[in-house]
Amino acid sequence: MRWLLTITLKKKGADNLLDVSDNGPGIAEDIRENLFKEFETGKTGGMGIGLYTCSSIVGAHGGDISYETELGLRTTFHVRFPDR
């Protein structure tokens, strides 16, 4: 399988919207609840700090991060940063 990563940035009102999408396997249901928690990971050898750190940084700047996923098809992370 060839991996495809798509990054888009757009402006909507006073918000900057960043979407990061891939065509990977999606996020398994059993790890979704803890996805943004520190030291939680579904990866062998993972540390569980990547999405936690992203969420903390985005939140500290008044934004938020969410995602959509379809098993076997794709995942898209949506990041919203307000203009300051």
The pLDDT assigned to 41 comes to 73
Quote the CA–CA distance of 84 and 81 in Å, as a whole number: 9
> Other C-beta atoms within 10 Å of 44: how many?
5
Residue that the structure tokens 């940063």 belong to: 81
- Convert the pLDDT of each residue in 29-46 to its tens digit: 988 998 988 877 767 777
Domains held by the chain: number? 1
The answer to whether 35 and 54 have CB atoms below 8 angstroms apart is no
pTM for this model (two decimals): 0.87
Q: What is the CATH number of the domain that holds 65?
A: 3.30.565.10
State whether residue 80 is helix, strand or coil: strand
Domain span including residue 31: 5-82
Cβ 77 vs Cβ 19: under 8 Å: yes
